[in-house]
Chains A and B, each alone.
Chain A
Amino acid sequence: MKRGILYYTRIYFKIIAQDIKSKMSYRADFIISMIGMIATNLAGAVSFWIIFQNFPTVQGWNFYEMIFLYGFSLISATPAQCMFDNNWDLRYKVFSGDFIKYCVRPINIFFYYMSEISDVKGLGQFAFGIASVVFAWIKLELRVSVLSILLFIVAAVSASLFVIAILNVAACTCFWIMNSFFALSLSNTLRDYAKYPITIFNPILRFLFTFIIPIGFMSFYPSQIFLRPENVPIISWFTPVFGIIFFYISYKIWMKGALAYNGTGS
Chain B
Amino acid sequence: MEPIIELKNVSKEFKILNRHEGVKGSIKDLFSRDYKIVNAVNDISMTINKGEIIGYLGPNGAGKSTTIKMMTGVLEPSSGEILCNGVIPYKKRSENAQNIGVVFGQRSQLWWALPVVESFKILKDIYQVPDKDYNDMMELYSSIVDMENLLHKPVRQMSLGQRTLCDILAAFIHNPAVVFLDEPTIGLDVAMKAKIRELVKTLNHEKNTTVILTTHDMGDVDALCKRIVIIDKGKMLFDNDIEHLSELFGAYRTLILSLNKKGTKCDEEHMQKLSDDVLSLLSEEFSDTSAFSLSFADDKTEILIDESKTSVVKVLNAVQKKYKIYDMHLQDISTESVIRKIYEGGI
Contacts and interface: CB of A to CB of B under 8 A. Distances in A.
Interface of A: 1, 3, 7, 10-11, 14-15, 18-19, 22-23, 97-98, 100-101, 103-107, 116, 261-263, 265-266
Contact of B69 (A1, A19, A263): A263
Contact of B93 (A11, A98, A103): A103
B104 A101 contact: yes
B232 to A, nearest CB: 14
Contact of B94 (A7, A107, A266): A107
Contacts of A266: 65, 104, 107, 182-183
Interface of B: 60-61, 65, 69, 72-75, 93-95, 97-98, 100, 102, 104, 107, 109, 111, 113-115, 118, 121-122, 125-128, 154, 182-183
Contacts of A1: 98, 128
Question: What secondary structure prevails in chain B residues at the interface with A?
Answer: mixed
Contacts of B98: 1, 106
B213 to A, nearest CB: 14
Given A106-B94, A106-B97, A266-B182, A101 B109 contact: yes
Interface centre among B69, B97, B113 (most CB of A within 10 A): B113
Nearest to A261: B74
B126 A19 contact: no
Contact of A100 (B74, B114, B125, B126): B74
A265 B122 contact: no
Given A11-B126, A14-B121, A104 B75 contact: no
B100 to A, nearest CB: 7
Contacts of B113: 19, 22-23
Nearest to B186: A266
Interface centre among A18, A97, A104, A263 (most CB of B within 10 A): A104
B65 A106 contact: no
Given A22-B154, A106-B97, A266-B183, A98 B107 contact: yes
A107 B95 CA distance: 9
Given A11-B126, A14-B125, A18-B122, A101 B107 contact: yes
B114 A104 contact: no
Contacts of A100: 69, 74, 104, 107
B216 to A, nearest CB: 12
A10 B183 CA distance: 33
Nearest to A101: B109
Given A107-B94, A266-B104, 16 more contacts: A7-B128, A11-B125, A11-B126, A15-B122, A22-B115, A97-B107, A100-B107, A104-B72, A104-B102, A106-B94, A106-B98, A106-B126, A106-B127, A262-B74, A263-B69, A265-B61
A241 B176 CA distance: 42
A157 B152 CA distance: 37
A104 B115 CA distance: 22
Given A1-B128, A98-B107, A104 B122 contact: no
A265 B65 contact: yes
Contacts of B65: 263, 265-266
Contacts of A106: 94-95, 97-98, 126-127
Contacts of B111: 15, 18-19, 116
A261 to B, nearest CB: 8
B125 A262 contact: no
Nearest to B97: A106
A15 B73 CA distance: 25
B259 to A, nearest CB: 49
A15 B113 CA distance: 11
A155 B46 CA distance: 57
A259 to B, nearest CB: 8
A196 B94 CA distance: 44
B74 A104 contact: yes
A42 to B, nearest CB: 29
A254 B97 CA distance: 20
Contacts of A265: 60-61, 65
Top 8 nearest A-B pairs by Cβ distance? A106-B97, A106-B98, A22-B113, A104-B102, A103-B74, A106-B94, A101-B109, A18-B118
A116 B110 CA distance: 10
A262 B75 CA distance: 6
A106 to B, nearest CB: 4
Nearest to A15: B122
B299 to A, nearest CB: 45
A7 B125 CA distance: 8
7 contacts: A14-B121, A19-B111, A22-B113, A100-B74, A103-B74, A106-B94, A106-B98
A19 B125 contact: no
B122 A14 contact: yes
A160 to B, nearest CB: 25
Contacts of B104: 100-101, 266
